[in-house]
Amino acid sequence: MEEPKLLVVDDDAAIGELLGDLGETCGYSVDKALNVKEFNQLYKESTPTLIILDLSIGEEDGIEILRFLSKVQCKSPIILMSGHEEKVRSTAFRLGEEYGLNMLTHVEKPIDLQKIKPLLEQNKRNSTFINSESLKRALKEFEFELYYQPLISLKSRELLGAEALLRWQPKNHPLILPDAFVPLAEEIGLVIPLTEWVIEQAFSQLAVWSKKNLAMKIHINLSPKLLNILTLPDQITVLSKKHEIDNNSVCFEVTESFAMNKPRTATDILTRLRLKGFSLSLDDFGTGYSSLVELYRLPFRQLKIDKMFVLKILEDQECINIVHSIIQLAHNLNMEVVAEGIESREAFDKLEKMGCDSAQGFYMGRPMPASDFDRWMVQNIDKQQKFIHKK
Ligand code: G
Ligand code: MN
């Protein structure tokens, strides 16, 4: 196995040293670039496993580097750092995402090494562990698991259902989240068998809940890549028949980014899913670059407000305004709104007051394996299937 390589780009040599030392402690070999030219040179020599990039590099800037990395279709995760205000950092971060890059996080300067260290460690573990071989083996040996996170009505406090979230639990390795392996699965053509597995698994769980007379809706995430496959609705229907599922109890979540490539094929697929009785939810709303036209044109019944805004709903006035506007927009278009990322009773109450329809977040319940979900229900849901607030 090749040694993982960290590339630090910063015009301040002292910061390069600091991060370089940390990288070496975490088991990376480290390269440091003081300017764009050095970066280009080092990048050409060998592809780094992880890049830490400063946004201002003397007269030059990190955006030029992001553009370059996009052009060469770099897959390595990128950590952005900057002394500029949060807004500049998060905009640059989103720009990186728009460029198709694997943006990991953005951090403020001066750097808090304690924040970076776990990221370096986790990434090193993943980079040496995740590859097409291990991913193929994982699928064959059933190392994937679905976790379920409850969805609660803010109006009635009823348990509405659960979002199914994919997790990879290798035998001798910590749990891996989808962001770390789904891009690779897409690249090597594994995303179809993987999604098929997810759907079957979610459908059989739904069947278990129906047998217990629980009125639950299951939410399943669809990779935007799948919205290129015209036969997708037919394949899904085969599975729903096999598991004797009521299609009305299934909601597919897609992110805004799907609209960017083949919009006609996506429209075809999404419309047919609706005709077959499935619901559709627009995931991570507010973070992408979708236009209102997409909302207007496509048959979504629901919109999920990205947790980025919801997490700050108690203190950040701009986030409050954005969430307000999204709720209004959705209701004006006859859509339901779900807030993702509710971490406290206060946030729950606030969103209820703001007229949001339903809620998902750590305050009610974290994503958990099916057996834990059953236990969670016993402790957190009353006889009317209503969520009991924590004391
Ligand atoms: O991309 P999507 O929105 O489908 O992903 C949902 C992810 O959000 C899950 O992986 C879950 O762990 C995370 N999540 C859910 N609720 C919360 C929350 O209250 N706080 C935070 N920080 N993350 C959450
Ligand atoms: Mn989702």
Give 6-52 pLDDT, tens digit per residue. 999 999 999 999 999 999 999 999 999 999 999 999 999 988 999 99
Going by C-alpha positions, the residue among 28, 23, 26 that lies closest to residue 46 is: 28
Going from the Cα of 294 to the center of ligand 2, the distance in angstroms, rounded, reads 18
Asked whether residue 157 carries a pLDDT value surpassing 80, the answer given is: yes
Helix (H) or strand (E) holding 238: helix 232-242
Position 80 scores a pLDDT of 96
C-alpha dihedral sign at 4, 5, 8, 14? positive
What average pLDDT does the structure give for the chain? 93
Distance CA 83, CA 90 (A): 12
Asked whether residue 283 carries a pLDDT value surpassing 70, the answer given is: yes
CA-closest residue to ligand 1 atom 16: 361
The verdict on the CB of residue 343 being under 6 Å from ligand 1 is yes
The string of pLDDT tens digits covering residues 194-225 is 999 999 999 999 999 999 999 999 999 998 88
The verdict on the CB of residue 161 being under 6 Å from ligand 1 is no
Asked whether residue 121 carries a pLDDT value surpassing 70, the answer given is: yes
The verdict on the CB of residue 79 being under 6 Å from ligand 1 is no
Rg (CA), the chain: 22
The verdict on the CB of residue 221 being under 6 Å from ligand 1 is yes
Going from the Cα of 253 to the center of ligand 2, the distance in angstroms, rounded, reads 6
Q: Identify whether the C-beta of residue 218 lies closer than 8 Å to the C-beta of residue 370.
A: no
Mean per-residue pLDDT, 268-293 = 86
The verdict on the CB of residue 289 being under 6 Å from ligand 1 is no
CA-closest residue to ligand 1 atom 8: 341
Asked whether residue 290 carries a pLDDT value surpassing 80, the answer given is: no
Question: Residue 291: pLDDT band by 50, 70, 90 thresholds?
Answer: low
Residue from 348, 362, 363, 390 to probe ligand 1 pocket by mutation (most atoms less than 8 Å from CB): 362
State pTM to two decimals. 0.88
Strand 50-54 to 78-82 pairing = parallel
Going by C-alpha positions, the residue among 244, 225, 266, 249 that lies closest to residue 164 is: 249
The verdict on the CB of residue 286 being under 6 Å from ligand 1 is no
Question: Residue 259: pLDDT band by 50, 70, 90 thresholds?
Answer: low
Going from the Cα of 199 to the center of ligand 2, the distance in angstroms, rounded, reads 14
Asked whether residue 5 carries a pLDDT value surpassing 80, the answer given is: yes
Mean per-residue pLDDT, 235-246 = 96
